[in-house]
Chains A and B, each alone.
Chain A
Amino acid sequence: MNRNSNLPLLKGTLDLLVLKALSWGPQHGYGIASWLESRSGGALGIDDSALYQALHRLEEKRLVEAEWGVTENNRRARYYALTRAGGRHLRIEADVWGRYTASVSAILALAGPE
């Protein structure tokens, strides 16, 4: 994936996006990856490897939990689900993110001196 053509991901954002992806229900890694791709219209450059690292990190923090399951086309895959703590984390962080981006956007929207 050519990074220049994609928006670089801000630190910590990926975790938030993954949690959001899982808020619709348990999903395997590939499912999350394709959901993120389709929702962002391919604009976010996310390596699959980075995604898995995020998933495992979240699992260690017990924000998500994982279990083996079988996909629609009968492949074994590891399904991730939000834990209660994960849901709470998502709500708080989404709120923080919203206020943060709003403030940053508001400042950037001010007319410059040029």
Chain B
Amino acid sequence: MSRGTGGERRRRLLRLFDRRSDVERELDEEIEAHVSLRIDDLVRAGMSAREAREEAVRRFGDMDEARRRLQASARRKEDRLRRVRVLESIRVDLRLGVRQALRSPGYSALAVMTFALGIGLTTSMFAIVDGVLLRPLPFPGPDRLVSLQSVDSTGNAFPYVSMGNWYDWREGGRSLESSALISISQNSATVVLGDEAVLAPAAFVAGPFFDVIRPRFVTGRAFTVEEAQSTSAVAVVGERFWRSRLGGVSDLPTVSVRGRQVQVVGVIADDQSYPESAELWLPLPYRAEAGAMRNNINWYAIGRLAPGVTVPAASTELGSIARRIREANPGTLYSYGAGVEPLREAVVGGASESLWLLLGCVSVVLLIACANLAGLGLSRSTSRAPEVAMRLAIGAGRGRVLQQLVTESLIPAVGGGVLGIALAWWSTRSIIARVGDSIPRSGDVGIDARVLAVAAGLTLLSGVLAAAVPALRTSGVSLRALVGSERGGVRGGRNLPGALLVGAEVALALLLLTAGALLVRSYREVLANELGYDTRGVVTAEIVLAAQKYYGPQNAARTAYWQTLRERVGSLPGVRATAVGNWVPGGTGGSGFVELENGGRAGAGAQYRIVSDDYFTTMGIPLITGRSFQPTDVAGGERVGLVNRSFAEHYMAGGTAVGQRIRATSQESIIEGGAPWIRVIGVVGDVRHWGHETETRPEMYVSQRQVSTFDLALTLVVRADPSKLGAVIEAVRSEIRVIDSSIAADIRPLEARIAAYLRQRRLTMTVLASFSVLALVLAAVGLYGLISFAVARRTREIGVRAALGARRAGIIGLMLGSAMKVVLAGAFVGLAASWWVTRLMRGLLFGVRPIDPLAWGSALAVLIAVTALAALIPAVRAARMDPLRALREG
């Protein structure tokens, strides 16, 4: 049998016009051949051509049926062959790839580690973004859950509302199926279990709260609106609380909450808590009357949209109700308008910007890693060029060679991906375990199928990205170029793709460095904001006198309690001073309307603080003018108070504050006979209540002795020897237990409370800074590789130069110069990219503008210094080369 070649070309040409598939064509050809062969034989045997054809066709039998069956089997065979061919080529490529990888274990390990780091970090960030930002809230109909907001006179929305406004929105609107309130000021409850009092994080809810959220109950039921309104003694607890504190019994017990026996009616599953931190849900009745306490903006409001209602539609409806309320109450409202925001966004809040930024940055790190590996691949492709050129020359298609090169680089990528997923799993868990409480919804974060799919995609993508440039370059070599030049194919000429890759790395690294520098600058600016008090050595204990014996408007037991507490704590070793206050920095706080006797601005507001005599010295708040409270300021005497610098500047400009009279129209409105006039006796410094980022606000201070109505919940402030803080905390805890075991306190160093406000900012800064350092290192390694490669390639040239008398400095300058050209070009692009990207992160900046010369300058300086160092090493090596050897070997 001989192979057909004769008509092959003609047949191929004809096929272009043939619409049948290969299978059908071959089959028809086979049948035709058969019939012709028989005709030939029959004619030879003496039949006429016509008779012979008829006989041949007759002998063939049912031709159509045969063709149909044969085609089916031929097609099956063809599919199988195609599969086998593809699998076979992949198998060969993999074997070659593994062999290639094993030949240079150092490089392979580096590649695998780089991929693992890049893919692992990116996957981990994605898992967090996915859990926090992308996944719907874990409640039924999550897209219908909204947060209701107030809008102030300047158009700013804020997520707090007053009960009065909420009531009117609820009564007047149709876009909400249900809505409820959660108290802001009360967020914990004293629970007495046996002889131990604990302060449990609690949600005090009004309205049909559980109809809105619809959490899953492990056992029992929700309490109803009727129960809440009739102040029934019922509570719902979280699964964790139920298991750890109530023993997980299905026969739900009664517990003592705030000095009252309360029946637990239901247990909410752990992942279904709303608010996230709550362990206890307690009913609060709302006042079912329109317009009650409209300026008491002390609640979060949540709602469930009616089916088919969109967020903007609901917003419009509530907005028009709010407008009617405003028109009916001209000039007296703090909250002007109303708005609606998806609950998910309200829950996540400011974290979203940080998380997206970090995900973006880590993807940039991954990109740099890919570029780096691509660059390494390029230098390695030199050694592969002869082999590839040979393959191309003996007939391997360029596509086939490309496939092989890409498969080869997918091997380390897949290895890196697998390691990366392990890394992501570990790092996500440790991130959540360590800083989960500064990330909202951190309980919803996990590595699931979706995250794994993204990791797999990242692996493929980065493998292909890293492979594409070197593979295209290598598969482009020709044997002629290889044989023709003494140096061979890719060794001659400039390494433009390599320089472009490193330039891109430099640009991306500079982008991250700039972003990182801006965050570091912001952090320093934040810290530069004086708190206005001294946190060092200060312990605060938030105490609620949650027992029947302390209730009632004027209560001697209460007064006695605070007296005893301060005396006993004051005499502890290491304690220097004690004081109490209602709203101490780092805890709850609030403001209300104030009125000035001689005019002043309408609608003026101020933080209202009740403090004991020694509060200012204990907290380290400076007295600017006048005097502080003293024992002669007794109940029943003239009401006296202090204001802070902001108050004096905002409301009393032009006159002296001391001696003027003011009154707290909101906070003291419940005092019989209306809010009394208070004479200002001094001015103190401003404080930043919720840490460094809080604005200073007008504040007024009144004496605890003169307003004993409000001392049911106070914070004890203890100034201690900073070196004995731990011991003092323990001593304070035991004193509180000894004085009254039914009272629980939240005791913490003030420094820790204030630091908590910085946690998210610090976390974002630290993570971004480490990403940018990583990016810088990768870019430096890339540049190092590029210059080393250039040195190797230009050995002969360097040898010639050295032989002709070029000095070492000159050679170093030459190599460094070509390196810095790449760096500067990259830096230029990086600066342009930074200009665009840093404007997007404006919300995360504090006290600096996106284009901050110091941040940009230092980022650029660090970049140039590190890259110059990276380039210097191979440059010096080049200069040290012996010219003779260089000439011989080059």
Contact = CB atoms under 8 A, between A and B. Distances in A.
B33 A69 contact: no
Contacts of A30: 33-34, 37-38
Contacts of B36: 75
B12 interface: no
A1 B59 CA distance: 7
B66 A52 contact: yes
Interface in A60-92: 60, 67-71, 73, 75-79
A95 B757 CA distance: 90
A47 B59 CA distance: 6
A76 B77 contact: no
B41 interface: yes
Contact of A49 (B1, B40, B66, B76): B66
Nearest to B64: A49
B837 interface: no
A49 B36 CA distance: 15
Nearest to B56: A48
Of the candidates B4, B31, B40, the one having the most CB atoms from chain A within 10 angstroms of its own CB is: B4
Interface string A25-69: 010111101100000000000011110110011011000000111
B37 A77 contact: yes
Contacts of A56: 69-70, 73-74, 77
A76 B2 contact: no
A69 B29 CA distance: 12
Of the candidates B4, B30, B63, B73, the one having the most CB atoms from chain A within 10 angstroms of its own CB is: B30
Interface of chain B: mostly helix, strand, loop or mixed:
helix
Interface string B35-77: 0111011000000000000000001111101100110011011
Nearest to B71: A56
Nearest to B38: A30
B82 interface: no
B3 interface: yes
Contacts of A75: 33, 36-37
A32 to B, nearest CB: 10
B4 A70 contact: yes
B99 to A, nearest CB: 30
A69 B36 CA distance: 15
Contact of A53 (B3, B38, B59, B69): B69
Contact of A47 (B29, B61, B73): B61
B44 to A, nearest CB: 10
A68 B6 CA distance: 13
A48 B61 contact: yes
B70 A53 contact: yes
Interface in B655-707: none
Contact of B1 (A26, A47, A48): A26
B37 A28 contact: yes
Of the candidates B34, B59, B73, the one having the most CB atoms from chain A within 10 angstroms of its own CB is: B34
A67 B2 CA distance: 10
Of the candidates A47, A49, A60, A71, the one having the most CB atoms from chain B within 10 angstroms of its own CB is: A49
Contact of B61 (A29, A49, A78): A49
A2 to B, nearest CB: 11
A107 to B, nearest CB: 34
B66 A77 contact: no
Contact of B4 (A34, A52, A76): A76
Contacts of B40: 73
Interface string A10-23: 00000000000000
Contacts of B63: 49
A68 B4 contact: yes
Contacts of A68: 3-4
B34 A47 contact: no
Contacts of B31: 52
Contact of A77 (B33, B73, B74, B76): B33
A59 B77 contact: yes
A1 B29 CA distance: 24
Contacts of A59: 73, 77
Contacts of A29: 30, 33-34
B88 to A, nearest CB: 16
Contacts of B6: 70
B67 to A, nearest CB: 8
A44 to B, nearest CB: 13
A49 B31 CA distance: 9
A70 B1 CA distance: 6
Contact of B77 (A60, A70, A77): A60
A24 to B, nearest CB: 13
Nearest to B67: A49
A26 B2 CA distance: 12
Nearest to B66: A49
A47 B60 CA distance: 6
A5 to B, nearest CB: 14
Contacts of A48: 34, 38, 59-61, 66
Contacts of A70: 1-4, 6
Interface string B1-37: 1111011000000000000000000100111011011
A10 to B, nearest CB: 18
Contacts of A73: 40
B723 to A, nearest CB: 86
A31 B6 CA distance: 22
A77 B30 contact: yes
Contacts of B62: 47, 49
A73 B61 CA distance: 25
Contacts of A47: 59-62
Given A69-B1, A69-B3, A76 B33 contact: yes
A78 B2 CA distance: 11
B699 to A, nearest CB: 91
B77 A34 contact: no
B7 to A, nearest CB: 8
A71 B36 CA distance: 12
A99 to B, nearest CB: 31
Contacts of B4: 68-70, 76
A77 B40 CA distance: 14
B197 to A, nearest CB: 82
A28 B2 contact: no
A34 B41 contact: yes
A89 to B, nearest CB: 18
Contacts of B77: 56, 59-60
Nearest to B73: A56
A73 B40 CA distance: 10
Contacts of A1: 59
Nearest to B41: A34
A71 B60 CA distance: 20
Contacts of B59: 1, 47-48
Nearest to A77: B33
Contacts of B30: 29, 52, 77-78
A17 B465 CA distance: 57
A49 B65 CA distance: 8
Contacts of A53: 66, 69-70, 73
A48 B7 CA distance: 27
Nearest to B1: A69
A60 B34 contact: no
Interface string B597-631: 00000000000000000000000000000000000
A1 B4 CA distance: 34
Given A29-B33, A69-B3, A75-B33, 16 more contacts: A29-B30, A31-B37, A47-B60, A48-B34, A48-B66, A49-B61, A49-B65, A50-B66, A52-B70, A56-B73, A59-B73, A70-B1, A70-B3, A70-B6, A77-B34, A78-B30
29 contacts: A29-B34, A30-B38, A33-B34, A34-B41, A47-B59, A47-B60, A47-B61, A48-B60, A48-B61, A48-B66, A49-B65, A52-B34, A56-B73, A57-B73, A59-B73, A59-B77, A60-B76, A68-B3, A70-B2, A70-B4, A70-B6, A73-B40, A75-B33, A76-B29, A76-B33, A77-B34, A77-B37, A78-B26, A79-B1
- Listed from nearest, the 8 A-B pairs whose CB atoms lie closest are A47-B61, A49-B66, A49-B61, A30-B37, A69-B1, A48-B60, A77-B33, A56-B73
